[in-house]
Copies of this chain bind each other. A is one copy, B any other.
Amino acid sequence: MKFEKEQLIFIPIGGSEEIGMNANLYHYNDSWILIDLGISFPDETNLGVDVILPDFEFVKSLKNKLAAIFLTHAHEDHYGAITYYASEINCPVWGTEFTLALLRRKMKENGTKFNFEMKTIPKNKNIKVKGFDIEVINASHSIPQPLSFLIQTQAGNIFHTGDWKSESSKNLNETDYFKSLKKISKKNISSIVSDSTNALIDGKTPSEDFAFNGLMKIIKKRKGCVLITCFSSNISRVKSIISISEKLNKKISIIGRSLNRSIDAAIETGLIKNSNFLDLNKSKESLSNVIIICTGSQGEPTSALTRISQGKHNIISLGMGDTVIFSSRKIPGNEKAIIKLENRFIDRGVEVLNDEDHDVHVSGHPSKNELIEMYNLLNPKCVIPVHGNSKQLRANALIAKSCQIQNVVIPKNGNVISISSKEAKSISDIKTDVKTYDNGNIISLNDERFVVRKHALWNGLISASIVLNEYGEMLTVPKLSQNGICDSVKMRNTLLEISLHIEDFIENTNKSKTFDDDYLVGEIKKIIIKEMKSSFYVRPITNVHINRIQ
């Protein structure tokens, strides 16, 4: 589609129909910028899939018209797809020191090759890219250095919030968000592209102090080992725990690759002083004097926390008198795995505490009152709720309307939304797909291979091979074998039966047709499936080889 040069356009290419994989394009003056490029995770309908990626085709088609990528922060749903699309990115990628420190580490660990420049966002200066003049506002979130962007153009100004909350983290020396917003409140904001995650939650999201106090209250009473699992990039939480350990004169040990990567990046960027973490491999310290910080809060099967819960960790063994604190939330879809993890600890006599009954976690997203305060402060013409499921987006829309903002546009991926100083409206659509990474390639989530694999998961597979001579005659008995159905006497008999049917079929086939591979394969598949259906109630994937001897 053609974009008018002077048109200010917003296109979400990911993240606006589901939580995760945020990727938001803005156009002005024949030039484009992309804010965030995240991933999301598969659900029960995407069996055999590890990761979900936004579609990069349209972005690629922009070629050198894509002036820059800006990362709001280093959560996977905002920056995780950079590593997947790295080789296709030809413009600078902007981020804060912490965001880029994490990105660099990830690229290095994965051995990802890239050609783009990583540019650190300046602290007190706007970024000017083609027709865009971007003012950077420091926010607060559950990771260091999250940003909101005021995207200023001749056609209108858009406030892109990213993920935020208003209560800042003291231990990260964050500035007051609403104070920063007050400074830009006179800038005639056309539209706010607005985080909807907690739009259904009343009141105000508490600051990190809430979790600090809750954790302190619990930990100071504990005599055994305390293991705290939290999201790896939540450096404010890690600092809260470090601070508690110092007050209680306990040692800290860090377990988990992603947590070590985050802390390493936090140390590099001066967010954490190089604390003396305890290396449990080398230490003889009693675990009762140690606070362990560990990843794996979502019940990930390969995490150290899972191994500890199973009693299979090489150093850490927890039991009666010890405490495991889930300083995190249950991400929908992970509940069952987390409950199983918790119960394995409980079976060992470990006390398990989580955010349902204890004040050990705070969210990083704005609740209702904060959204209201923002809308009242910035008084935009329009609100575009993003980052939430339909219920959350609609709740955010209602909040905007309650603030007398009549123009609310709830976008879908691929919507082309025109934004002027007067209004925002959806004017068209671009085609967007949903992608995944499999066997070294980025492919559609609807790729045929997933249909085959899912079908095989329930129905197994039958392979057959036959040998025909130059006259189309069978030279030996057909070979048949099964995978993933069952190996039993009945199966062996059924395969024998099928083999005989195939022999009969070839013998009775019109001579000329025995030279038609497609015909033979099709008919043999029918024979196999008919027999398997009646004997084993399955319709296996079938694979037939016609070997011809000249």
| Cβ contact of A339, chosen from B389, B456, B487, B549, cutoff 8 A | B389
Q: Is the CB of B391 within 8 A of A465?
A: no
| A493 is an interface residue with CB less than 8 A from chain B | no
> Could you list which residues of chain A lie within 8 angstroms of chain B, going by C-beta atoms?
43-45, 47-48, 301, 332-333, 335-337, 339-340, 342-344, 346-347, 352, 389-391, 394, 438-441, 443, 447-450, 452-454, 456-458, 460-461, 463, 465-467, 475-476, 479, 481, 483-488, 536-538, 541, 543, 545-550
Q: Is the CB of B485 within 8 A of A449?
A: yes
> For residue A391, which residues in chain B have a CB less than 8 angstroms away from its CB?
339, 342-343, 346, 352
How many Å lie between the Cα of A145 and that of B206 in the bound state?
47
| Cβ contact of A343, chosen from B44, B390, B449, B457, cutoff 8 A | B390
| Cβ contact of A48, chosen from B44, B45, B458, cutoff 8 A | B458
Q: Is the CB of B439 within 8 A of A461?
A: no
Q: Is the CB of A441 within 8 A of B486?
A: yes
20 pairs, CB–CB < 8 Å, chain A vs chain B: A44-B336, A333-B336, A335-B335, A339-B389, A439-B486, A439-B536, A441-B486, A441-B488, A449-B486, A450-B484, A453-B457, A453-B460, A461-B461, A461-B543, A465-B479, A466-B547, A467-B547, A479-B547, A484-B541, A549-B549
Given A336-B43, A439-B486, A457-B47: A547 touches B465 (CB 8 Å cut-off): yes
How many Å lie between the Cα of A545 and that of B545 in the bound state?
10
> For residue A548, which residues in chain B have a CB less than 8 angstroms away from its CB?
476
Q: For A450, give the chain B residue with the smallest CB separation.
A: B484
How many Å lie between the Cα of A438 and that of B390 in the bound state?
38
> For residue A441, which residues in chain B have a CB less than 8 angstroms away from its CB?
486, 488
Q: Is the CB of A449 within 8 A of B460?
A: yes
Q: Which 8 A-B pairs have the closest CB atoms?
A: A465-B465, A343-B390, A333-B336, A452-B484, A453-B484, A479-B545, A346-B390, A465-B545
> For residue A443, which residues in chain B have a CB less than 8 angstroms away from its CB?
486
Q: Is the CB of B543 within 8 A of A481?
A: yes
Q: Is the CB of B448 within 8 A of A487?
A: yes
> For residue A546, which residues in chain B have a CB less than 8 angstroms away from its CB?
479
How many Å lie between the Cα of A457 and that of B440 in the bound state?
16
Q: Is the CB of A538 within 8 A of B390?
A: no
| Cβ contact of A394, chosen from B43, B346, B481, B485, cutoff 8 A | B346
> For residue A333, which residues in chain B have a CB less than 8 angstroms away from its CB?
335-336
| Cβ contact of A440, chosen from B337, B458, B487, B537, cutoff 8 A | B537
The winner among A342, A449, A538 for most chain B CB atoms within 10 A is: A449
> For residue A488, which residues in chain B have a CB less than 8 angstroms away from its CB?
441
Q: Is the CB of A456 within 8 A of B479?
A: no
Q: Is the CB of A483 within 8 A of B452?
A: yes
How many Å lie between the Cα of A340 and that of B389 in the bound state?
8
How many Å lie between the Cα of A148 and that of B346 in the bound state?
29
Q: For A456, give the chain B residue with the smallest CB separation.
A: B456
A436 CB → nearest B CB, Å: 12
How many Å lie between the Cα of A536 and that of B460 in the bound state?
22
A526 CB → nearest B CB, Å: 18
A515 CB → nearest B CB, Å: 15
A452 CB → nearest B CB, Å: 4
How many Å lie between the Cα of A268 and that of B174 in the bound state?
68
Q: Is the CB of A454 within 8 A of B457?
A: yes
The winner among A332, A443, A448 for most chain B CB atoms within 10 A is: A332
Q: Is the CB of A440 within 8 A of B536?
A: yes
Q: Is the CB of B547 within 8 A of A476?
A: yes
How many Å lie between the Cα of A461 and that of B463 in the bound state?
10
Q: For A346, give the chain B residue with the smallest CB separation.
A: B390
Q: Is the CB of A549 within 8 A of B48?
A: no
Q: For A333, give the chain B residue with the smallest CB separation.
A: B336
> For residue A483, which residues in chain B have a CB less than 8 angstroms away from its CB?
452, 456, 461, 541, 543
